Amino acid sequence: MPILDSHTIDFFSRSPEQTRRIGMRVGAEIKPGDVICLQGDLGAGKTTFTQGLAQGWGSIDSVSSPTFIIVNMYRRASGGKLFHLDAYRLDSVTEAEELDLDAMLSEGSLIVEWPERLGGLIPKERMWINLDHIEEERRQMRFNANGKRYDELLEAIRQSMFGGS
């Protein structure tokens, strides 16, 4: 696990199952108001990662890509909401403004696929994860923390996945 700086780690996933497990570890650590941005090409593993994240968070709902409906909401038995936004089909930042990200964040956590399409609507403080397709089953994942809360989240992920080393 290369540590690029104290705000960034790289991880290589060798299978969809491993990508899901990494997502589960992240999901176990997220809190209401957290923003997790997933950037990567089609097929990079964003939805697979989100399936694991929602499972680790405790979702009682099944996870599917919200490409055509834009936003899915997941619930957990203990309460709370997890919003899963896929910005791929949004035509403009103005269209994205109508989604009211602030309202989502006041009710729960937010996972955003294709966050680069939302421009300045994404909070400056967030966890940004780039997923790159390396080979058919292999993905490179770069976690970048932006803000104190996300440095703490990154450290919790690092501890969970690597024992802090």
Residue 115 pLDDT greater than 60, yes or no:
yes
Expressed as residue numbers, the domain containing 46 is 3-162
Q: How confident is the model at residue 128 (pLDDT cuts 50, 70, 90)?
A: very high
Q: What is the DSSP string of 65-86?
A: --TTTSEEEEEBTTS-EEEEEE
b/e for 59-85, b at 16 or more Cβ within 10 A?
beeebebbeeebebebeeeeebebbbb
User: Which among 144, 140, 158 has a CA at the least distance from the CA of 14?
Assistant: 140
Token readout for 55 is 């499972």
Residue 59 is given by DSSP the state: B
Note the pLDDT of residue 3.
Answer: 53
Determine how many CB atoms are found less than 10 A away from the CB of residue 37.
24
Q: What CATH number does the domain containing 86 carry?
A: 3.40.50.300
In angstroms, the CA 59 to CA 50 distance is: 11
Token pair in block for residue 124: 């400056």
Query: What tokens appear for 11 in the block?
Result: 């991880």
- How many Cα atoms sit within 13 Å of 49 on the Cβ side? 28
State percent of the chain over pLDDT 70.
94
Query: For residue 54, what pLDDT band results from cuts at 50, 70 and 90?
Result: very high
| Whether pLDDT at 67 is above 70 | no
Of 64-78, 95-109, 143-157, which gets the smallest average pLDDT?
Answer: 64-78
Query: From CA 131, how far away is CA 78, in angstroms rounded?
Result: 30
Average pLDDT over residues 76-92: 89
1 or 142, which is more confident: 142
- Computed over every residue of the chain, the mean pLDDT equals 88
Give me the pLDDT at residue 165, please. 45
- In this prediction, residue 124 carries a pLDDT of 94
The percentage of the chain sitting over the pLDDT mark of 90, rounded to a whole number, equals 57
pLDDT at 71 over 60: yes
51 pLDDT more than 80: yes
pLDDT value at position 65?
75
- pLDDT at 2 > cutoff 70: no
Distance CA 59, CA 78 (A): 9
Q: How many structural domains comprise the chain? A: 1
